[in-house]
């Protein structure tokens, strides 16, 4: 299994809603990431988990709350979002060291989020 | 801090021709990795090729090759014999060599293959 699976593929939520994005990989990768991508822009890093611990938070607002329940799962909990948070949210995983040459950082197909 | 620069916002190339997408980078790290990704309109980021900073040979993967010139800090992607399915956004990116760090992207090049 060489995939990163993200669900849901599309999500529309109101500004008062609570929702969660899910990401799963079974490649044994020990680092997992959340990226946010606005239209016509490159992806921007939000969070990095390494060995199930949060290692990088790129000063993301607290309305985004990441969670890593185990080495295969990564969640992003959303609460009280703003319309400007509408974007493509990409999950990725990576294998450290020499593994980078084989598959790089492996990305999921993303969740297209619309906040209304 | 790491920085990636892609100076070609868009390119149009005739089918079956070779195409070179430019990428320059800046970093103070001695050990780093360089990547190219393809993003079709559907949104997924597809890994194409990787070059480690200490790799002496240019990386190749099928029709993709990476022209790595370390002294000039450039990592251009060469696609040979372009196909209609190559039309997409292409991102150059870099990270540290550990494999669990921030992946920094350039602004991308929109490649369109003309039949």
Note the pLDDT tens digit of each residue in A38-68: 999 999 999 999 889 999 999 999 999 999 9
- What is the per-residue pLDDT for A11? 97
Measured CA to CA, the distance from residue B32 to residue A98 in angstroms comes to 12
Which chain B residues are Cβ-neighbours of A90 within 8 angstroms? 43, 45
Q: How much of chain B exceeds pLDDT 70, in percent?
A: 97
Q: Residues 6 or more apart from B75 whose CB is under 8 A from it? A: B23, B24, B25, B34, B36, B51, B66, B67, B68, B69, B92, B94
Q: Do B47 and A110 touch (CB under 8 A)?
A: no
- Looking at the predicted structure, is the pLDDT value of residue A103 above 80? no
Give me the pLDDT at residue A64, please: 98
> What whole-number percentage of chain B has pLDDT above 90?
79
Query: Chain B contacts of A94, Cβ < 8 Å?
Result: 99-100
Residues 6 or more apart in contact with residue B14 via CB below 8 angstroms: B82, B113, B114
How much of chain B is in helix, strand and coil states, percent to nearest 5? 5, 50, 45
């Amino acid at each position: 299994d060489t995939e990163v699976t993200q669900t849901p593929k599309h999500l529309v939520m109101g500004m008062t809603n609570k929702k969660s994005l899910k990401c799963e990989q079974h490649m044994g990768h020990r680092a997992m990431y959340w990226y946010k991508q606005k239209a016509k822009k490159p992806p921007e890093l939000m969070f990095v988990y390494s060995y199930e611990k949060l290692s990088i938070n790129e000063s993301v607002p607290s309305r985004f709350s990441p969670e890593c329940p185990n080495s295969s799962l990564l969640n992003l909990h959303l609460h009280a979002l703003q319309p400007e948070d509408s974007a493509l949210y990409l999950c990725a995983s990576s294998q450290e060291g020499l593994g980078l040459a084989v598959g790089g950082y492996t990305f999921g197909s993303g969740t297209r989020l619309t906040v209304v | 801090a790491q920085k990636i620069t892609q100076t070609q916002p868009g390119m149009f190339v005739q089918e079956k021709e070779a195409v070179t997408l430019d990428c320059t980078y800046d970093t103070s790290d001695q050990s780093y990795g360089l990547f190219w990704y393809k993003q079709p309109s559907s949104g997924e980021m597809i890994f194409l090729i990787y070059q480690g900073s200490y790799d002496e040979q240019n990386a190749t993967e099928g029709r993709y090759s990476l022209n790595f010139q370390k002294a000039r800090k450039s990592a251009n992607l060469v696609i040979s014999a372009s196909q209609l399915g190559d039309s997409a956004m292409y991102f150059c990116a870099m990270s540290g060599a550990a494999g669990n760090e921030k992946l920094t992207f350039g602004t991308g090049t929109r490649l369109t293959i003309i039949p």
